Structure 1
């Protein structure tokens, strides 16, 4: 639902435009310092006679014409004192480093969307992703000549909450170390204020940028106390934007943890962040600038809030790149999330992956990359395991770039210390052998660990039960949906058996199985995705695909919570054979088809042949299915590697294209991409 729009003030003069003789307003003054998080402040309005104008130096305010018509504004106002100091520092450092006249001012932005997995980015910000692909990445497109994009495929969250991921990026230390030093200090006690400010001076990326001659800005739309518990209320930057969100909470019920999308006055909350950032970058043209923006749009499970903001993000990036095109300034924009968010299937490995695998994208002007020869190192690092500490070191590396080239032996580089080993993504390759432990990633959220290969001749009763239930379910579907004359399927053998253990505090950890089976007298190969656990999980119904799902549950009541104390669940059944969708849908012939009914039905997940010029989203839609990125692609590739002359992983996309007997993986996006091969393989999911 769109926000109610009222034109209650002139955006230039800030004159109130109510059709009344008076209005209730709040205009901040020196008694209202910007305070991060849930600070104990109540904003008192006053009645003013109209006409009335806010001061031109006012960055935010509240207007209420009557009980139902009310709005807020937020605009950037130049900090002339900070601007003058930054200009002096910039000039001084250029002289100290003997910087050449060809040096350009640099803009660095760290923009974080909270709780957004990489998959969620593609699901819910598809217009934004398409803009990146079609207008930046694609050759000879609108922005391809000026800008370059790097998509980091090995981005893995440390844990599944914000503080554990952001403290390493902002301070270069772990959350555990930060909390240990905080002890029993309070961000609301005046006696403890010095501790938080001192730590910002010593560790924070924004204060480091400030010392290196950058304008600085901090914006986080939180009204709850979470990250603020480690950073403090006051942030040592030139522009701190915190109070507008508390205005939103007091007068409009804004909550950064809400499930529903929040309007603050006439606009969605995220638009205030995007507009203010745009104004900030434009108002300090010709100066070095750093901004950290954190948006909590995605704090809910459906993805609806994020999808509503898609067009706004797309438009923001278009304006941003347009403004930096042919501009005598460099841009380095880190667009990322801190962690993902569970969907319904929270017990599955896929559910864990949604939480553990955020996205990380870097957009930069090509002149910055080429002038320092960063491209090869950045490209290599997009395929390695990324650490949150790498972001910290990279940001501090960037603060030096307007003045001099930095190397791994430079004193400026060696002084950037992090609690865990790290590299600057610009000048140092991430070690190939880096482990989750090296990157401080909790073992329960480490997605780079491979499945263990088990003996396929296993007589494990749980595995055999999963197989029996799956085949029984398939047979019942064949009889119901195809014909009562269908020959039943019988299990032949296990072709592949793989296991991944979750690490939990429970005595018996959940076991996640990949079971690939063949069928007697049939070419069909099925992949069963299942979980077995005797751990305790909060009662939920995580059935995403009910067609094959089977559970054995024993409920246990502890206090106010109901737990599953035993769970055997089949999440999905995938047919690994690549099929022609039209053949599946051909009319059933009793005499000729009763022995191959398994070829006449679609399963939870399906691989379909398609023409290379067709989008897979259209191919899947033709058979009333949806396209998605391949699930457990390694299982498919392992099973059919002998069917292709060669399998080439050529890029970071998810497509499967076949050309002259070779399978090319990842040249374009699986669902929306159009390749240049004759044939492709689409991955379609049945969601009924």
Structure 2
């Protein structure tokens, strides 16, 4: 029987896994949407002719009390500390109001009491039109970008856990079937899109130890081209730029929603679901992101804008939880007001990678899924009519191998389309990458796309017994390389040394000639160590008499949930990924 594939090219055949494959079925179940409050929200915001009004919903008051409820509101501001402006918020004095009040600040907190006892609190975000400064463009159209992202969702998992959203996207958007991740977690994959840098360049140009804005993000380029820019992300503790990273000193975009989400998650109660901040007060975090995205799109429907709206709160820690927000996401994607606001906007619905941890990662299906995030594009009719060659090339490229670097180049190309004088700054992380508006060669390889062999899904592996002497030798090499990382990284002395405990599974490629003209295989190995950790790596191996050689192809992946045993590392996400704190080894032995 012919195997199903996402793409079938000369040098790349990406396997299409069954979303309900037997090897993962025990990990799969349905998660339902749950409300964060059984009561109707007591406060809401509406906007009329650029006037934003905060209202108390008096028709819902009886759900809270028959007594008189008194409410006040306060503006939520970013604290202007010298070194930690991204970590705290400040509230102005709470100003009493009765039924409604005009507000002039994007983020507000509402508090309602009966005889000084709190009965309701919430925070709200709104987007103020600044069209007076950004006039509707004349001449060549400038196309806006709206990026709706969900963390850790593969091509198969959106089909499996979010069937309504998947069906809508399949029917109304264009699927980049050959899209393959380039790095381990969110940071390298998202930064390849936003900066065009690879991991090594990020360390140089985006020094995470300096709390400032050293990177040149693509939203800076859009801002310089007179676009309105916005960025929002929920579950603040694990934000892309804040999980063991310093965040931003200056606000990176015109609309920066972190103060809103910090307030939602710290000034109110939160409800964890599968270890994620599912509820931030009386609303789900996921709906807060969706509402912010819709408000941003509607507010700036007539002026060029770039928005990135990213959700962690229902996907990061559980492979099934995206299903809880499927209906809500479908309702946003199919919302008439939202879609009408996107008449001049390229909508991108996407993820960064598949699910990275736990038992499912020891399956073949889990291995493939982790490397293949979903990504869909929706183009406005005006773009298709104005640039038929570019659009047709994009359609061709849906069946080619693509990577996040190509998305960055596409944004650069889009800026040039709207402004002939703009000089594109192509991805420095992948000099051989393309804009998706130019046809990608059918013989493209992972190396051409900036994808290391470890993440590449173009070539398959043949199963090889874990007790094969070659596999054992490769596995010991992986463990030694992991220990070398700890030895050579500052702070690594806090981490225990690993020993090989068990080889879980191994695969081997067909022989090929490497750059040194040696006949080699690459081995994909998943293994366990003592102390208890799980790693995966791809190794190029040459077995010659008395001259065996090994070379890591890309990163070593940590595929167990390592958070609880890495508390000794507080400011280095790279080291945390490989560490098992010595203090935790001591505790486990007590």
The aligned runs of 1:321-360 (5 Å cut-off) are 323-324=339-340, 329-342=343-356, 344-360=359-375
Q: CA deviation at 1:503?
A: 11
Comparing 310-319 with 437-446, which one deviates more in the overlay? 437-446
The verdict on how the C-alpha distance between 1:24 and 1:442 changes in structure 2, with shifts beyond 3 A counting, is: farther
SS in 2 for 1:400: helix
**1:69 aligned residue:** 119
| Deviation per residue, 1:140-174 (Å, 9 max, x gap) | xxxxxxxxx22112222222211111111111112
Structure 2 contact 148–349 (Cα < 8 Å) conserved: yes
Question: When the two structures are aligned, how many residues end up with a matched partner?
Answer: 450
Using the alignment, how far apart are the partners of 1:461 and 1:219 within structure 2? 45
How far apart are residue 314 of structure 1 and its match?
Answer: 0.6
Q: Which is worse superposed, 429-438 or 392-401?
A: 429-438
The CA distance in 1 between the partners of 2:366 and 2:300, in whole Å, is 43
Deviation at 1:359, TM superposition (A): 0.8
Q: How far apart are residue 561 of structure 1 and its match?
A: 6.0
1:120 aligns with 2:160: no
The residue aligned with 2:380 is 365
Distance 1:161 1:322, change over 3 A: closer
C-alpha deviation, 1:558, in angstroms: 8.6
Query: Is the 1:259–1:299 Cα contact (8 Å) retained in structure 2?
Result: no
CA displacement at 1:313 relative to structure 2: 0.9
- Give yes or no for contact 2:298–2:338 (8 Å, CA) kept in 1: no
For the residues of structure 2 that align with 1:441 and 1:253, how far apart are their CA atoms? 42
For structure 1, the residue ranges without an aligned partner over 5 or more in a row are: 137-148, 188-192, 405-410, 455-459, 464-500, 515-530, 542-556, 563-688
Structure 1 residues 333-367: Cα deviation after superposition (integer angstroms, max 9, x where no partner): 11111111135232233322232211111111233
**What TM-score do you get using the length of structure 1 for normalisation?**
0.57
Q: Superposition pairs for residues 497-646 of structure 1, below 5 Å? A: 505-506=478-479, 511-512=505-506, 536=529, 560=584
**Aligned with residue 212 of structure 1, among 201, 225, 248:** 225
| Deviation at residue 423 of structure 1 after TM alignment | 4.2
Please give the alpha-carbon distance, in whole angstroms, between the structure 1 residues aligned to 2:476 and 2:403: 20
Bigger CA radius of gyration: 1
1:384, 1:430 within 8 Å by CA — same for their partners in 2? Answer: yes
Deviates more, 1:14-23 or 1:238-247: 14-23
Distance 2:334 2:226 in 1: 28
Is 1:85 the counterpart of 2:78 in the alignment? no
Alpha-carbon distance in structure 2 between the residues aligned to 1:364 and 1:185? 39
CA distance in 2 between partners of 1:277 and 1:244 (Å): 13
For 1:482, the equivalent position in structure 2 comes to none
Which residue, 1, 8, 11 being the options, matches 2:45? 11
Q: Is the 8 A contact 1:261 1:305 kept in 2?
A: no
> How many Å apart are 1:437 and its aligned residue?
3.2
The residue aligned with 1:429 is: 439
Q: 1:396 deviation in Å?
A: 2.0
Which of 133, 144, 150 aligns to 1:107? It is: 144
Q: Deviations over 1:488-532 (max 9, x none)?
A: xxxxxxxxxxxxx99982368765359xxxxxxxxxxxxxxxx98
Structure 1 runs of 4+ aligned residues shifted over 6 Å read 33-38, 255-258, 501-504, 531-534
RMSD of aligned residue pairs (Cα, Å): 4.2
1:631-680 per-position Cα deviation (integer Å, ceiling 9, x unaligned): xxxxxxxxxxxxxxxxxxxxxxxxxxxxxxxxxxxxxxxxxxxxxxxxxx
Residues 441-456 of structure 1 mapped to structure 2, 5 A cutoff:
441-451=451-461
Verify the 8 A CA contact 1:444 1:503 in the aligned structure 2: no
Structure 2, unaligned runs of 5 or more: 1-33, 47-52, 469-473, 481-499, 509-523, 535-580
TM-score by length of 2: 0.65
Q: CA deviation at 1:305?
A: 3.1
Contact 2:107 2:260 in 1 (8 A): yes
CA offset at residue 290 of structure 1? 1.4
Task: Map 1:38-437 to 2 at 5 A.
Answer: 39-41=86-88, 43-44=90-91, 49=96, 51=98, 53-66=100-113, 69-80=119-130, 83-87=131-135, 99=139, 103-134=140-171, 136=172, 149-183=173-207, 185-187=209-211, 193=212, 196=213, 199-200=214-215, 203-224=216-237, 226-228=240-242, 229=245, 232-254=248-270, 259-260=275-276, 262-319=278-335, 323-324=339-340, 329-342=343-356, 344-373=359-388, 374-403=390-419, 412=422, 414-437=424-447
Q: Distance in 2 between matches of 1:266 and 1:154?
A: 39
Q: Does the CA-based 8 Å contact 2:274-2:317 persist in structure 1?
A: no
Q: 1:416 to 1:181 in 2, by over 3 A?
A: closer
Deviation of 1:413 after TM superposition, in Å, equals 5.4
Q: Is the 8 A contact 1:26 1:43 kept in 2?
A: no
Q: How far does residue 398 in structure 1 lie from its aligned partner after superposition?
A: 1.6
Residue deviations 1:206-229 (CA, integer Å, cap 9, x gap)? 111122222221212241264243
- In structure 2, relative to structure 1, the CA distance for the partners of 1:245 and 1:41 (3 Å cut) is same
Q: CA deviation at 1:231?
A: 5.7
Task: Give 2:24's aligned residue.
Answer: none
State which drifts further: 263-272 or 176-185.
176-185
| Structure 2 match to 1:439 | 449
Tell me how far apart the structure 2 counterparts of residues 50 and 184 of structure 1 sit (CA, whole Å).
Answer: 43
The change in CA–CA distance for 1:208 and 1:504 in structure 2 (over 3 A counts) is farther
CA distance in 1, matches of 2:427, 2:454: 26
Partner of 2:35: 2
Kindly tell me: are residues 323 and 153 of structure 1, through their superposed partners in 2, closer, same or farther at Cα, counting changes over 3 Å? closer
* Alpha-carbon offset, residue 10 of structure 1: 4.7
State whether residues 45 and 124 of structure 2, in contact with CA within 8 Å, keep that contact through their aligned partners in structure 1: no
For 1:249 and 1:6, locate their aligned partners in 2 and report how far apart those are by CA, in whole Å: 20
Equivalent position SS for 1:361 = strand
Deviation track 1:169-213 (CA, whole Å, cap 9, x = no partner) reads 1111123322234557432xxxxx3xx1xx35xx21111112222
